Amino acid sequence: MISSTPIPGDDPKFLAALTEAKLPTDDVGEPDRSFFRFERGGRLLGFGGFELYGEDALLRSVVVPQESRGTGAGRTVAEGMLREISNAGGTRAYLLTTTAADFFKHLGFEVIDREDAPSAILRTRQASSICSSAPMLFCAI
């Protein structure tokens, strides 16, 4: 059984996984972010998070530790994050990535022009400064 547990942005294992994967950690401690740890049978699968703006969510910080890669853990974490977003009232998910676009396309995301994203998503630190040149992807939940 897959379990998801809310964690703070400063969770040491989460920060270590982000750092190992060379993903940004600059704003994970700011308010209005939700992060989760995913496990199966007590085994860590990965982490993920989101920022919710009405029905629009920025999916972010999806990371799978090296030892769990290639096992389907990435799909499990990403799908778990979409469920968490939906449970929180989100109906649309956006994300920014420079390395995992193909992975997210297999999950139903499509590349969109940044100007087609909601202004609340574009104003996030992720979109406006941290990942300002990364492609934007979208998925209806």
Mean of pLDDT values over 4-26: 96
pLDDT number for residue 1:
87
Q: Which are the contacts of 135, defined by CB distance < 8 A and separation ≥ 6?
A: 96, 97, 98, 101, 111
E strands present in 70-140: 92-96, 110-112, 136-140
Q: Which residue has the tokens 């100007």?
A: 115
Mean of pLDDT values over 58-70: 94
Mean of pLDDT values over 73-77: 97
Confidence of residue 29 (pLDDT cuts 50, 70, 90): very high
Mean of pLDDT values over 90-105: 95
Q: What is the pTM of this model?
A: 0.95
Residue 27 has pLDDT above 90, yes or no: yes
Confidence of residue 134 (pLDDT cuts 50, 70, 90): very high
